Amino acid sequence: MKKVLLTVCAVCFALQVSSQENLWWKTPVNSPEVHKDNTVTFRLKAPNASSVEVVGDFLSKNEKAEMKKVDNDVWEYTTPKSLNPELYSYSFMMDGVKISDPSNVFMSRDVVTISNLFMIDGKESELYKVQNVPHGSLCKVWYHSDKHNADRRITVYTPAGYETNNQRYPVLYLLHGMGGDEDSWSTLGRAAQILDNLIAQGKAKPMIVVMTNGNSDLQAAWGESPTGYVTPTIELPKTTDGSFEDAFPEVVTFVDKAYRTIAKKESRAIAGLSMGGFHSMQISKEYPTQFNYIGLFSASARFKGRKESHIYENCEEKIKKQFSQKPALYWIAIGKEDFLYEENQKFRSFLDANGFSYTYVESEGGHIWKNWRNYLCQFLPLLFK
Amino acid sequence: MKKVLLTVCAVCFALQVSSQENLWWKTPVNSPEVHKDNTVTFRLKAPNASSVEVVGDFLSKNEKAEMKKVDNDVWEYTTPKSLNPELYSYSFMMDGVKISDPSNVFMSRDVVTISNLFMIDGKESELYKVQNVPHGSLCKVWYHSDKHNADRRITVYTPAGYETNNQRYPVLYLLHGMGGDEDSWSTLGRAAQILDNLIAQGKAKPMIVVMTNGNSDLQAAWGESPTGYVTPTIELPKTTDGSFEDAFPEVVTFVDKAYRTIAKKESRAIAGLSMGGFHSMQISKEYPTQFNYIGLFSASARFKGRKESHIYENCEEKIKKQFSQKPALYWIAIGKEDFLYEENQKFRSFLDANGFSYTYVESEGGHIWKNWRNYLCQFLPLLFK
């Protein structure tokens, strides 16, 4: 009863606030509803709409699932089959306009695409969930780059206990793809959850993870820099002109100064997805004494004939030099349907022809976050052994 | 030309990615467009809609601005007057369904309300902008609470230079309102930008700011705790049952251990908005040797006759004891249209009747973020002098 009274008080308070702030304290309908059998029902209250569809990565490519009007107000769609445990994203198309689900406040941005999120729990997604395990910290930190003549933002994960102990930790530099930014790995990539969970399970060593912004034109993620709320674009010239790779040692210097790192090659890894895989390849070969573990996730792997920067010149020779110094791990993963599949095979041919040792993982699927999260889960346990 | 070629490469790359990921690399239309005279045009591409409206805090309460179809596809609304420099939020109503602007990726959540954001630049909003000044770090950190028997998350701002110097800093504890969480002050409250800018201007002392989660039922913001993607609600009983205030010293103990604080009353402040103002009143009087600067922003200020917790008993006596120890600043701000206005006047009458010294600020407007950001801008320069 006391609880009821308190709740009534809270509601009255809410209503008062609501009348001033014009907030909606309830979502219009229950959507998405994940059923016990892992089928999912999507709902949209839209009395005047003529058509509503669901689009999302739980459907086949370009598939749109038609929603049906189940009463005068509400449109509904239920997946015909159970969905596999995974983090999914979706949107509605209402009379041809792509909209977010007004009943689901959880969303993420990928360049200019806002999608709603939902999770199907289970073995395959347990590493992506916030579990009741010790949690590391996730920080937005700025450092100064002389080469870029700008303050730039990085996202830093420090493992649980970092603030109150005196230990030193190895460091993984984890790089995003074209169109992403220093937020991508911690949002769509679920990096903090994956790290927390693998460390708690004893499968990964406690480590610091540094997520950079690989676009030299940006000081920070869209909306988080002095340029303000500028609409994101992928058409940025300074992603693969060598300037990011050229200035990368500044990040390492800052991190080794600002954090209790183990500042040597044996305790340093670099990995990235797509463009970030390309950056990881370039940076690790450019500074062969610095990184002992290298991960290329669905990497853009074209290493020959590039002229945009001195960084990209003599790539073969530099990679040979890198391998002569025997990195502990060179890990390549690509999906069978990835548009970069052939590029990766060509790169492998070069490595094979030279007898360089690397690990190769071929997965299903294409150039998607599901794969990159999965690659990270596979890669982390191999580090700093 | 080289730049053009690079751009072409980037676009080709983007298109390839796009075909796999089904991403939209361009927003449908330019919206919102802030014109040079600070009028704003909103646009929605919706060929089949029958009506589209804009709602937002740049309009009067409950006002909806009707958008007109300017061609077969696009609906448009332009504000008749220039808008004042401020951070604004808005949504569209398309055929009665509240939707986000698909052309604007910048949004924020307030309980279950997702709104799009835009900024009008100018003197009044310059403190809310990311400026080219040294930036502090913003961290999501977990601590263990024995009293709540849970790990709980806080947001911590450390001033620029914290990671690379050895200084100790004073601490402001900054609390959110009912329905908010440990993210609120750093998103809608623009706390990190305000701190960065005021510190850079020499108007505020460099300080650590700790933003807690004032709802004892939650370990972290919605979606960020082990409960997963659960729809937010404001009807939570453990917001004003005394349990948060009771366990507050655990946060202070953790912060003083984890950060280079100046761990004494002279260097500790506490402030909050609405429910957080109530919490600040209660915590500062419960632990009168701990906080020297107290800020009540649009506070829920009913301090008499509460029985929910031993914390709320004998409030008058405890406040008298607090004032006998002469806090350096007791700062109260409220809007003339705030539904808590009368409650604040009653609280002032009690303080006046006892001859207690405090600062009172009365602003225009009601229970809104615009006021809370503004109060924070006024409050920070008064701390730790």
Interface membership of B95 toward A (CB under 8 Å): yes
Most B CBs within 10 A among A229, A259, A300, hence the mutation to make, goes to: A229
Q: Return the bridge partners of A137, or none.
A: A158
pLDDT of B243 higher than 90: yes
Residues A347/A301, Cβ–Cβ less than 8 Å: yes
Residues 6+ away with beta carbon under 8 Å from B289: B265, B325
Q: Is B60 exposed, middle or buried (0-12, 13-18, 19+ CB in 10 A)?
A: exposed
pLDDT of B235 higher than 70: no
Helices (H), chain A: 2-21, 191-200, 243-258, 275-286, 315-324, 341-353, 369-379
Per-residue confidence (pLDDT) for residue A19, from 0 to 100:
36
Residues B232/B111, Cβ–Cβ less than 8 Å: yes
Tell me which of A132-136, A234-238, A306-310, B212-216 is least confident.
A234-238
Residues A109/A120, Cβ–Cβ less than 8 Å: no
Which long-range CB contacts under 8 A does B320-325 form with residues at least 24 apart? B320/B354, B321/B285, B321/B288, B322/B284, B322/B285, B322/B288, B323/B351, B323/B354, B323/B356, B323/B357, B325/B288, B325/B289
* Tokens encoding A248: 């990368």
* Region A307-328 average pLDDT: 95
* Region B317-346 average pLDDT: 97
Per-residue confidence (pLDDT) for residue A351, from 0 to 100:
98
The SS3 assignment for A138 reads strand
More confident residue, B185 or A2: B185
Tell me which of A21-35, A330-344, B203-217 is least confident.
A21-35
Q: Of A107, A96, A46, A48, which Cα lies nearest the Cα of A76? A: A46
pLDDT of B343 higher than 50: yes
A33-34 vs A40-45, strand pairing mode = antiparallel
pLDDT of B15 higher than 90: no
Interface membership of B309 toward A (CB under 8 Å): no
Chain B residues with CB inside 8 Å of A259's CB? Answer: 163
Cis peptide before A32 (omega within 30 of 0): yes
Tell me the pLDDT tens digit for each residue of A354-382.
Answer: 999 999 999 999 999 999 999 999 999 99
Residues A384/A329, Cβ–Cβ less than 8 Å: no
Q: How far apart are CA B187 and CA B339, in angstroms?
A: 24
Give the pLDDT band of residue B25 (cuts 50, 70, 90): low
Helix (H) or strand (E) holding B94: strand B86-94
More confident residue, A115 or B1: A115
The chain-wide mean pLDDT, for chain A, equals: 92
Give the pLDDT band of residue A290 (cuts 50, 70, 90): very high
Chain A, chain B: beta-carbon pairs less than 8 Å apart = 279
Helix (H) or strand (E) holding B321: helix B315-324
Tell me the pLDDT tens digit for each residue of B79-98.
Answer: 999 999 999 999 999 999 99
Tell me which of A233-237, A238-242, B201-205, B332-336 is least confident.
A233-237
Q: Which of residues 185-204 of B touch A (CB under 8 A)?
A: none
The chain-wide mean pLDDT, for chain B, equals: 92
Strand spans (E) along A3-134:
33-34, 40-45, 52-56, 65-66, 68-69, 74-78, 86-94, 97-99, 107-110, 113-120
Q: At what angle do helices A275-286 and A315-324 cross, to 10 degrees?
A: 70
Q: How far apart are CA A38 and CA B87, in angstroms?
A: 41
Q: How far apart are CA B251 and CA B212, in angstroms?
A: 8
Per-residue confidence (pLDDT) for residue B304, from 0 to 100:
86
Chain B residues with CB inside 8 Å of A160's CB? Answer: 142
Name residue A93's amino acid: M
Of B22, B27, B164, the CB nearest to A112: B27
Most A CBs within 10 A among B5, B11, B74, B97, hence the mutation to make, goes to: B97
Of B22, B151, B235, the CB nearest to A62: B22
- CB contact under 8 Å between B45 and A366, yes or no, is no
Interface membership of B164 toward A (CB under 8 Å): yes
Handedness of CA A228, A138, A335, A306 (dihedral sign): positive
- CB contact under 8 Å between A99 and B103, yes or no, is no
Of A14, A179, A226, the CB nearest to B178: A14
Looking from the CA of B156 toward its CB, the CA atoms found within 13 Å total 27
Is-above-0.80 flag for pTM? yes
- CB contact under 8 Å between B117 and A6, yes or no, is no
Tell me the pLDDT tens digit for each residue of B249-259.
Answer: 999 999 999 99
Predicted ipTM of the assembly: 0.93
Chain B residues with CB inside 8 Å of A232's CB? Answer: 105
Domains and CATH numbers, chain A: 24-124 (2.60.40.10), 137-382 (3.40.50.1820)
- CB contact under 8 Å between B61 and A236, yes or no, is no
Give the pLDDT band of residue B324 (cuts 50, 70, 90): very high
pLDDT of A11 higher than 60: no
Write down the residue that tokens 């889960």 correspond to: A377
Handedness of CA A25, A31, A32, A38 (dihedral sign): positive
Most A CBs within 10 A among B57, B58, B111, B368, hence the mutation to make, goes to: B111
Q: Is A94 exposed, middle or buried (0-12, 13-18, 19+ CB in 10 A)?
A: buried
Interface membership of B365 toward A (CB under 8 Å): no
Tell me which of A203-212, A373-382, B238-247 is least confident.
B238-247
Per-residue confidence (pLDDT) for residue A26, from 0 to 100:
67
